[in-house]
Structure 1
Amino acid sequence: MKNFNLKLLLLLLISTLITLGCQIKDNITDNSIVWTDDKNGTFTDPRDNQTYKVIKIGNQILFAENLKYQIPEKEITDITEWKNNNDYDGWSFYRNNLDIGKSYGILYQWEAAKLACPNGWHLMTDNEWSELINNLGDEYMAGNKLKEIGTEHWYGTNAEVTNESGFTALGGGYRDSDGDFINLSIAGHFWTSTTYTMYNENYEAYRRSLAYTDQAILRIQTGKRHGLSARCVKD
């Protein structure tokens, strides 16, 4: 009986060590997520060691912050270069201001946004945005559940804004096709990876937009030269 108990204790000890070893290994894996509970965690991008909050909504695992990855050699500060970039692969901080970028993330042209998510993640598709919105009700009420509470990153707010999803959408504004910066704290605009095919898929793609003034989230086609915010979803 004593030998049996010793063997059982040894097996339990080995099992515990294996479990701890797997957890440690997972925590240092490039694509790992460190979960704080069943819906909230953090992910560290191995390319630049930027740590992002992540959330689980329905079956989706999403960034809860705007992407901030600086694609090497693709920053465009010059207005003329921006509006002549037909590769749509540039990015910039709002007003080319790093301090604004630290809060609101980066504004990516469309091709850049598709390339900017880390390995194991991708830019949300139009359908994935629809799935997110449907999990929160519909496009007419989801905005208030997605937006950050308060006025730190929004020009105004109201009592109906709850951010109950944890998505924490910010009013990051955008950079238009002529290189001008517009709408900071007024609205948040997010690329999808889905092209708009009604007329010419080479020039436009879908975006999702939220404004401080109402609770709706809009689906609009936009020229790919525009600079918008980006959110990543787990593969």
Structure 2
Amino acid sequence: MAPKTAEPMDTELAELPQALRWREWMARVEAVLFTASEPVGREVLARVVGRDCALDLLIEDIAAELVGRPYEIARIAGGWQFRTRPQHSAAIRAALGEGEAVRDLTQNEALVLTIIAYMQPVTRRAISRLTGREVSRDLIARLPGQALIARGPRSPEPGAPYTYVTTPGFLVQFGLETLRDLPDLEALEDAGLLKPAADIALDLPTSGEDE
């Protein structure tokens, strides 16, 4: 006996009144987001709703119902994802342990990651020029270990060295939808989160330490 083929999902729900149809679409989208471990894109969510569904308005309605809950829907890396609200991070760490949290970046790693995020694709040599110190391969190698950067295309400069770019994981970890959401560098300096380039004097390891 041939296996039974699953019937296609009725996404239009034309037999339902408009209000009930909207509620069913909301439930479907919320279920998909709840089970997904990564941000879910528009094209995926469109598979469970009707062609005329205003997906952005639908998600706004779901988000409105989550007000007061310890989690929310965030627009991240070109899609949507459930995430816990920042004010509950201490409770999560207390329950699950520090090992569940993402390792904090060192000051040197944060500086290099910032340069890659704003200047990508960028070579290690260019990063060294911007910091005024030689940046080691070992320091660069620690960032892919956290799924924050990856190798980009080779540079056209002599020797054709690899460049470095940020990954979708970078957007997820920092809660950004796209790289266009990166804060302005001057705003970071004004807020005291980033020193002006002329004042950067970090103890970056030299390339000779890892050759």
TM-score by length of 1: 0.23
Structure with the largest fraction of strand: 1
TM-score by length of 2: 0.25
Which of 1 and 2 has greater Rg?
2
Structure with the largest fraction of helix: 2
